[in-house]
Structure 1
Amino acid sequence: MLSATMLARTALSRGITAQHLCKNVTLYMNELTATGSGSPTTKPLMLMLPWLGSRPQAVDKYCEIYFRTGFDVIVVESEVKDFLWPRWGLDRGKTLLDLLLSDRFMSRPLLVHAFSIGGYTFAQLLVHMSHDQEKYQEFANRIKGQVYDSLVVGSLEQMATGLGKTVFPRFETLIKQISLLYFTIFKTQTVDHFNSSIDVFWNNPVRAPALMFFCENDVMSHAQTVEKLIDYWKKHGMDVSVKKWEDSTHAAHLRRREGPCTRKPSSLGLYQNQRQTSGLKKSSQKSVRSNNASWSEKKVQKNVGGSVLSSIQWKKMHNEP
């Protein structure tokens, strides 16, 4: 039987059906939009990793953007226990990786969209890939783009702050102090693993173009650290587009700036002709850092990169005329 959360998401749009795959993992199948060849085995798949404690109605808005562009969406919800005891998170990462490598999904191109702690969940998947890059190279090549919104990066104190704000906001200070004490006592099982995961994320085995959303006033996402990560990726040949705000809200940039981009999807600029020897062309999208950008349709396409890729670009990905 579908949970209340799944029922809420099932009803978000006609032509969308939900299927529970495993714990905290739900597939939303889009029967509304054709994708060129129409083959379910090559239909684009969005891997969405929401923020901790995300409400279905909030995640639905992002799902709708991708539904209108022809994606099916897999939503993977994070749990605080996977962060507090990383071994569990690592096990979940392996389960998710095995799922995406199963016969049902093994030939489908992927786009990753991770919010906040969802980036940590994806990092656990990357850890397994880094242990045997040759084995997982084909899977890495299937990922055509990666979007990161409000990554939880910075000091251990900022991680503890994030727990306080998302788990028990009324007791934020207390939870922060308890978390710091916990990380100190269980350093080997937590902090050491965090550092290993961070190192893998910086040296990301997925080389697909990336789009980063962040702001300067986010206490859970250290802007200077995000910028260092972006610079590091660029120096190592990754195509990275950037949208930075001076004042915004953690994992809620869309809510703060709803407009044409949420009604009519544009192109991310992350995807190019798959026939290129490099696998992907350089995106013509320039990295932009704007403090007060307009979210008009033209500005979205030029400055933000839009929300999703165009059907024309998907045809190029599949070598279709």
Structure 2
Amino acid sequence: MVSVIKATVITLMAVSRVLFNPLWSSASGHLTASIKNNFMAVSKRSFSRLEITKNLALISKEKINSKITNLKLHDQTGRPCVLLLSWLMAKRKHMQKFVDYYLNQDCDVLCINITPWQLLWPTKGTQIVAADILKFIDNNYLNSQCLLHGFSVGAYLWAEVMVQMAAQQDRYRPVMDKFVGQVWDSAADVTEISVGLPVAVFPKNFVMQKALAQYILYHMRTFDKVATRHYVRASQMFTTNLIKSPAQIFISKTDPIGTETSNLRVKETWENMGIKVYFKCWEKSPHVGHFLKHREEYLEHLDKFLEEIGFGVTSSERLKAKL
């Protein structure tokens, strides 16, 4: 009996660490508010990383002026910008392969992440991050194209951005018009977070997954005003979609989080709205693991999509670079 009680206490302590500590980060165990501008070398290439907020970091092939006022860069780079909305608990090294890909397209990359706490408490979490995203894009890349590339819960975060744009559509029409394309990899319906969040937080601990899943169900029943109703609204907004540019969707039939059913429903709705949708569904592939499992095919589809929408480096320029 004592051992059971002890195990239960440890489980609850671990869950509460995730749910009630806003300073707990998926990437490093803590968050820092400092602004820094560092050069890093990856694949023999140098790039500049500017930490804009706790959740936003801008990466560019060239040095970025670290002066930023009210989320506005003092110097515009003039390059296209990719909004890379990461999956929950994604580490920097996980996203680096996608950063490298877009840097090779001569684009800047805005890396965006949220913590489990921010997901569960949207009015003080994801909606604050969404406001920062909207303000940053509104203030910068004034004459440049933008592209969305989101993974899993990144779809929900972007939906929260669209909720804010929808409240002032005339005001944010220029922001919507900046986006020439959107890529969604394993997009997850946030109303199913009781399935995805436990696996993301405790990927190898089934007992903890079960405990967290039970809490999330309780959380969604109890905190409708500050959580659940916002999830429902965001889910509706993602499906109706204010961004009418072409979309590339990557999913698999075996993904229990970004399900084939929900993504097919989104595809059908978007096509009925006049959005051109490129759809790739693998028979077997893990959640947010399509790139690792099917690298060549993934890149083939992504290259073709970017060429179709005229974003980044053209295919002829890529061929020259390879030669």
- The reply to whether residue 43 of structure 1 matches residue 73 of structure 2 is no
Q: Which moved more, 1:217-226 or 1:252-261?
A: 252-261
Pick aligned residue for 2:129 from 92, 99, 121: 92
Task: Provide closer, same or farther for how the CA distance between residues 79 and 244 of structure 1 changes in structure 2, counting only shifts above 3 A.
Answer: same
- Using the size of structure 1 for normalisation, the TM-score is 0.76
Task: Provide closer, same or farther for how the CA distance between residues 54 and 165 of structure 1 changes in structure 2, counting only shifts above 3 A.
Answer: same
Structure 1 residue 109: Cα displacement: 1.1
Pick aligned residue for 2:314 from 308, 311, 314: 311
Where do 5+ consecutive residues of structure 2 fail to align? 1-26, 30-35, 64-74, 318-323
CA contact (8 A) 2:251 2:258 kept: yes
**Aligned to 1:107, what secondary structure does the other structure show?**
coil
Return the alpha-carbon distance in structure 1 between the equivalents of residues 314 and 237 of structure 2: 32
Structure 1 residue 72: Cα displacement: 1.0
- The reply to whether residue 224 of structure 1 matches residue 265 of structure 2 is no
Return the alpha-carbon distance in structure 2 between the equivalents of residues 59 and 313 of structure 1: 26
Q: Which moved more, 1:72-81 or 1:261-270?
A: 261-270
Pick aligned residue for 2:144 from 103, 108, 132: 108
- The reply to whether residue 74 of structure 1 matches residue 105 of structure 2 is no
CA contact (8 A) 2:285 2:293 kept: yes
Structure 1 residue 12: Cα displacement: 2.1
CA contact (8 A) 2:40 2:46 kept: no
CA contact (8 A) 2:180 2:246 kept: yes
What's the counterpart of residue 8 of structure 2?
A: none
CA contact (8 A) 2:84 2:148 kept: yes
Q: Which moved more, 1:51-60 or 1:137-146?
A: 51-60
What's the counterpart of residue 42 of structure 2?
A: 12
Query: What are the within-5 Å matches in structure 2 for residues 78-227 of structure 1?
Result: 78-87=114-123, 88-102=125-139, 104-153=140-189, 156=191, 158-169=192-203, 170=205, 171-227=208-264
- The reply to whether residue 54 of structure 1 matches residue 90 of structure 2 is yes
Q: Which moved more, 1:39-48 or 1:22-31?
A: 39-48
Return the alpha-carbon distance in structure 2 between the equivalents of residues 45 and 73 of structure 1: 6
Structure 1 residue 309: Cα displacement: 4.7
Structure 1 residue 163: Cα displacement: 1.0
Task: Provide closer, same or farther for how the CA distance between residues 264 and 179 of structure 1 changes in structure 2, counting only shifts above 3 A.
Answer: closer
Structure 1 residue 153: Cα displacement: 1.8
Task: Provide closer, same or farther for how the CA distance between residues 313 and 233 of structure 1 changes in structure 2, counting only shifts above 3 A.
Answer: farther
Return the alpha-carbon distance in structure 2 between the equivalents of residues 264 and 160 of structure 1: 31
Return the alpha-carbon distance in structure 1 between the equivalents of residues 155 and 39 of structure 2: 22
- Note the alpha carbon deviations across 1:81-123, whole angstroms, 9 max, x for none: 2210111211211111111111x43332101100011111111
- Note the alpha carbon deviations across 1:132-186, whole angstroms, 9 max, x for none: 11111111110011000001127x4x31111110112311111111111111111
Return the alpha-carbon distance in structure 1 between the equivalents of residues 121 and 303 of structure 2: 39
Return the alpha-carbon distance in structure 2 between the equivalents of residues 205 and 113 of structure 1: 16
- Note the alpha carbon deviations across 1:276-296, whole angstroms, 9 max, x for none: xxxxxxxxxxxxxxxxxxxxx
Q: Aligned pair count? A: 269
Which structure has more helix as a fraction of its residues? Answer: 2
Structure 1 residue 4: Cα displacement: 7.5
Structure 1 residue 269: Cα displacement: 4.7
Aligned identity (percent) is 23
Where do 5+ consecutive residues of structure 1 fail to align? 33-38, 274-307, 315-321
- Using the size of structure 2 for normalisation, the TM-score is 0.76
What's the counterpart of residue 12 of structure 2?
A: none
Instruction: Give the root-mean-square deviation of aligned CA atoms.
Output: 2.9
Q: Which has the larger radius of gyration?
A: 2
Structure 1 residue 271: Cα displacement: 4.7
